[in-house]
Amino acid sequence: MGASHGIAEGKAYLLARKKTKFSKRYVAQEHVDKEIRRVQEALEKSKADLRKIKETLTHEDVHEHLFILDSHLMILEDPMLVDSVSEIITLERKNAEWALLTAFDNLKRVFNGSENEYLRERKSDFDYLCNWILKHLAGRGEESLQHINDKVVLVSHYLSPAETAQMDREKVIGFVTDLGGKTSHTAILARAMKIPAVVGAEKATQEINAGDRIILDGIEGLVVVNPTRETLDHYRNRKVQYGNLERDLLKARDLPAETLEGKRIQLTANIEMVEEANSVLEYGAEGIGLYRTEFLCLSQGRIPCEEEHFQVYRSVVERVAPYPVNIRTFDFGSDKSPDIASLRQERNPALGLRSIRYCLREPEIFKDQLRAILRASHYGKLRILFPMVSGLSELEKAKAIYEEAKEEVREKGQPYDPNVEIGIMVEVPSAALIADVLAKEVDFFSVGTNDLIQYCMAIDRVNKEVAYLYEPLHPSILRILKFVVEAGHAAGIRVGMCGEMASDLRYLFVLLGFGFDQLSMVSSMIPWVKRIIRSSRHEEAKSLVEMLLATKHGKENEMTLSTWIQEKYPDLSDAVLCGYPGSLGSSRKGISDYSGEPSDDLHERKAVPACFRVRSKGLCKGD
């Protein structure tokens, strides 16, 4: 996976590190205290390491992300950690290493089941920390990056965020790791520090030898080992082109996302964690279209109190001001950790007591959240989004509780915006089919295609056996989208989309054709989506939609769409259809408003060997 954009070329530097090995032993009663002391000492050393690293980090790019190290320190300093390890040693008589691993495994379990990539990868932070302490238990610290003297591409089994933050950018020009994911803190830091990176390469440390020449493509998620002269030249050219393209795209950051005829679409970001709010404006987001607040509970393992909610929402709103933030009320239940929402295990959780249903059942919990949102509304522009609404009576009940919350805030004399807009997620077919009725009761719609398609096609969205039925262009879905947009517009309200369909470049023309007012997505996709919108014609997209609505099969529509894109937008088709945003052409007239030269590397891409172009993710040895 490409974790941080950019291309690096250099010599491989291998960090010889594997998971720290240790034996699992039971200890005798008389050794229990000694084992506990060993853990305490190792913990102290690890904390001291982290504090020292923090002190040495002065560069401002990294400074903004010091919260990552703070959160690591908080985990190590939490008395619960040492208590639970001590308890395991005492009760289960496991040796220090084994007890430590057990305690971290327990912590990780909370995150493991999450469908959310960001949260799943929080467990990698526990892995780093556990490994760090294990190293001290084994009597040695982590191999340092300090003695790297040349410019190198670092190759390692894993890299902790703390190490990444310490990297000297003059020397480490890129890195590849066997482990890791795109939204791990290590990847977040690599992006902040603009170090190209590929993570999750699985066998990089086995396939690459120290001193090998490496090309690392952080955009495609590709590592080429000992490339030929031709490949080297190709990537050198490409590096220049990427640089131009990125500069172009970022220059367009403040330009509107509008079609060639001037039809404007608002592009906003989806976030799960408060810290993501920092970077959304850098990508040109005009606010946050979906803040999934349930992750606040999932990351803490409990439902926060009103004050905690308030602090978080206020901070998000202030970070994004003057742009708006759509705060979605809790959508937990189903696959999002029922334990935490104190929900019973259900036979059919996706159809069970989730989301707004749970909130209506637990009005006090719901009201805590609503009061906090209202209080945060004083500090910026904020809107409320109710998830999983299935009909009018649910919406009426939710609004009644909202009115009570408002009254309570008012009675306490706390400042709030009395005109906070209320919207609903349109993600349950029953709601979609009465969109004309619901539109009269709210200020905006946000279509959640992840659930809408799940419920409409009767397929579990996390079950890969039925994933083939997940067809955004199925005639039923297209009809629903058309109906929802038209119903919303007839009532004079905005209609947006925040499901994954909104960030899939293939479907962009379809959404344009339907007339969506807002598209919300992972922020890094915004520059690419904007580029395509600014190169397209709304009228053409409308005719495309007419054509698709006339067909009977979703699969047929996929083919029709591909052909249409290739014919109408040949210079965009490579990027749109192959999911390779690095190759966006510029068919937009007046592209000079991005300044710099248009970056059309389509011609060059044709010269690239097939192994690099078609599903080129992974390692290509000796190309």
Active site residues: 185, 498
SS3 call for 173: strand
500 near Mg ion, rule: CB under 5 A: no
Q: Which residue has the tokens 């001291």?
A: 48
The structure tokens listed for 274 are 């408060």
CB of 103 to ligand PEP, least distance (A): 31
Contact 314, 552 (CB under 8 A): no
Of 448 and 527, the one with the shorter C-beta distance to Mg ion is: 448
Residue showing the smallest CB distance to Mg ion in the complex: 451
Considering the complex, state which of residue 91 and residue 462 has its C-beta at the smaller distance from ligand PEP: 462
Dist CA 581 CA 242 (whole Å): 10
438: left (phi over 0), alpha (psi -120 to 50) or beta: alpha
449 binds, among ligand PEP, Mg ion, none (CB under 5 to 8 A by kind): ligand PEP
Minimum separation from the CB atom of position 453 to Mg ion (A): 10
Stretch that binds ligand PEP, among 62-70, 201-209, 444-452, 527-535 (CB under 6 A): 444-452
CA dist 502 and 564 (Å) reads 19
Would you put residue 471 in left (φ > 0), alpha (ψ -120 to 50) or beta?
beta
The least distance separating Mg ion from the CB of residue 271, rounded to whole angstroms, comes to 15
Q: How far is the CB of 306 from Mg ion (least distance, A)?
A: 25
Site for ligand PEP contains 498 (CB under 6 A): yes
275 binds ligand PEP (CB under 6 A): no
Stretch that binds Mg ion, among 99-107, 281-289, 333-341, 423-431 (CB under 5 A): 423-431
Q: What is the smallest separation between the CB atom of 333 and Mg ion, expressed in angstroms?
A: 11
Q: Which is nearer to Mg ion, 304 or 448 (CB)?
A: 448
Residue count at the site for ligand PEP (CB under 6 A)? Answer: 10
Q: Which is nearer to ligand PEP, 448 or 515 (CB)?
A: 448
Part in contact with Mg ion (CB under 5 A); list of ranges 265-273, 420-428, 466-474, 598-606 = 420-428
- CA-based nearest residue to 272, from 505, 523, 529: 523
Residue matched to tokens 């294990």:
134
Give the integer Cα–Cα distance in Å for 444 and 488: 8
CB of 185 to ligand PEP, least distance (A): 22
Identify the residue among 294, 451, 504, 517 touching Mg ion (CB under 5 A). Answer: 451
Cβ 491 to ligand PEP, closest distance in Å?
22
DSSP H or E segment with residue 618? strand 618-621
Task: Give the one residue of 450, 551, 560, 562 binding ligand PEP; rule: CB under 6 A.
Answer: 450
User: CA-based angle 411:416:418, to the nearest 5?
Assistant: 90
Q: Which of 186, 449, 535, 599 is in the footprint of ligand PEP by CB under 6 A?
A: 449
Give CA–CA dist 561/243, Å, rounded: 31
Q: Which of 196, 448, 554, 618 binds ligand PEP (CB under 6 A)?
A: 448
Part in contact with ligand PEP (CB under 6 A); list of ranges 50-58, 164-172, 448-456, 476-484? 448-456
List Cα–Cα distances, 38 to 28, 89, 115, 230, 586, in angstroms: 15, 11, 36, 55, 61
In angstroms, give the least distance from the CB of 295 to Mg ion: 13
Binding partner of residue 340 among Mg ion, ligand PEP, none, CB cut-off 5 to 8 Å per kind: none
CA 623 to CA 607: how far, in whole Å? 14
| Residue 278 interface partner, choices Mg ion, ligand PEP, none, CB cut-off 5-8 Å depending on type | none
Please say which residue, 117 or 556, places its beta carbon nearer to ligand PEP: 117
Residue 128 or 455: the one with the smaller Cβ distance to ligand PEP is 455
Q: How far is the CB of 409 from ligand PEP (least distance, A)?
A: 27
Q: Work out what residue 498 binds among Mg ion, ligand PEP, none; the CB cut-off runs from 5 to 8 Å by kind.
A: ligand PEP
Tokens of 170: 């003059």
Q: How many CB atoms lie within 10 A of CB 205?
A: 22
Closest C-alpha among 87, 99, 91, 93 to residue 28: 93
Measured in degrees and rounded to the nearest 5, phi and psi for residue 228 equal -75, 170
> Among residues 328 and 371, whose Cβ is nearest to ligand PEP?
328
Centroid of chain to Cα 320: 17
Q: Count of CB atoms within 10 A of residue 281's CB? A: 19
Q: Which is nearer to ligand PEP, 133 or 498 (CB)?
A: 498
Beta-bridged to residue 550, according to DSSP, are none
User: Which SS3 state, helix, strand or coil, does residue 155 take?
Assistant: strand
If we measure between CA atoms, which residue out of 605, 616, 611, 606 comes closest to residue 245?
605
> From the list 499, 515, 554, 581, which residue makes contact with ligand PEP (rule: CB under 6 A)?
499
Residues numbered 280-309 forming contacts with ligand PEP, rule: CB under 6 A:
290, 292
Helices (H) and strands (E) in the chain, counts: 26, 16
275 binds, among ligand PEP, Mg ion, none (CB under 5 to 8 A by kind): none
Return the closest-CA partner of residue 401 out of 438, 442, 360, 356: 360
Binding of Mg ion by 427 (CB under 5 A): yes
- Give the x-and-dash track for 522-561 against ligand PEP (CB under 6 A): ----------------------------------------
Residues 73-132 that bind ligand PEP (CB under 6 A): none
| Sheet of 213-217, strand order | 2-4, 197-198, 172-177, 152-156, 7-14, 213-217, 222-225, 618-621
Per CB under 6 A, the list member of 207, 275, 306, 427 interacting with ligand PEP is: 427
Window contacting ligand PEP (CB under 6 A); options: 32-40, 81-89, 447-455, 487-495: 447-455
Give the angle 429-433-436 at the CA atoms, nearest 5°.
140
The residue within the footprint of Mg ion, chosen from 448, 472, 581, 585 (CB under 5 A), is: 448
Stretch 316-375 residues interacting with ligand PEP (CB under 6 A):
331
What's the token pair of residue 376? 């945060």
Handedness of CA 367, 305, 417, 64 (dihedral sign): negative
Name which of 430 and 592 has its Cβ closer to Mg ion.
Answer: 430
**Given the complex with ligand PEP, which of 96 and 424 has the nearer CB atom?**
424
Tell me how long the chain is: 623
Tokens 């598209």 appear where?
Answer: 519
Q: Rounded to an integer, what distance in angstroms lies between the CA atom of residue 255 and that of residue 240?
A: 24
Which one of the spans 11-19, 123-131, 317-325, 444-452 is the region binding Mg ion (CB under 5 A)? 444-452
Nearer to ligand PEP, 121 or 331 (CB): 331
**Residue 199 in contact with residue 618, Cβ under 8 Å?**
no
CB 338 to ligand PEP: min, Å:
15
Q: Rounded CA gap, 221 and 201, in Å? A: 9
* Residues found near Mg ion in the complex (CB under 5 A): 427, 448, 451
Binding residues for ligand PEP (CB under 6 A):
290, 292, 331, 427, 448-451, 498-499
